[in-house]
Amino acid sequence: MKTFTLDVDYACDFDLFGLVSSSREHTLAWVLNRTLHLRLIKQPDLILDLLQKGRLVISNYLHATEHHTLRLFRNRSADASALKKPYLAPDIRQYDYLLQINAGGAGLPPTPQLITQLTALPQVQLVSQFDPNDLKFKENFLF
């Protein structure tokens, strides 16, 4: 019997930023709300069942307007996981949080200014921008 494999390549049309921060997630969300004039609200945890390998429970916050959607994810699984690398984005596991901005970021500062604002926060040690299309596990951001 022949088996066929379906190869699907997703194009990600969002901006992705990695943040290094030792702050708790609710503290970081509160600081981002005040600094960027957002309203990040805690959402139910994302549960990703990865076939036979294990399960990821990812904490996330959401700010949505008619112009853009912004999500703050904790990169590491909130639950104990059987996975060797229990991260939402194992490619960039050195980052504690991931900030995903959809719809071009209308109403938000331009990318260089946003990076400058985030880096200036005492709760954030490092900010980097990533092209989600270059990540090996970009499918984890599609929901």
**Is 56 inside any structural domain?**
yes
H-run or E-run covering 62: strand 60-64
**Is 33 inside any structural domain?**
yes
Domain residues for the domain of 132 are 14-136
Global confidence as pTM:
0.84
**Is 49 inside any structural domain?**
yes
Query: What total number of domains does the chain contain?
Result: 1
**Is 9 inside any structural domain?**
no
Residue 4, amino acid: F
**Is 142 inside any structural domain?**
no
Residues 15-39 have pLDDT tens digits of 889 999 999 999 999 999 999 899 9
Dist CA 3 CA 11 (whole Å) = 26
| Closest C-alpha to 39, from 78, 77, 68 | 68
Residues 37-85 have pLDDT tens digits of 999 999 999 888 876 677 888 899 999 988 888 999 998 888 776 677 7
**Is 82 inside any structural domain?**
yes
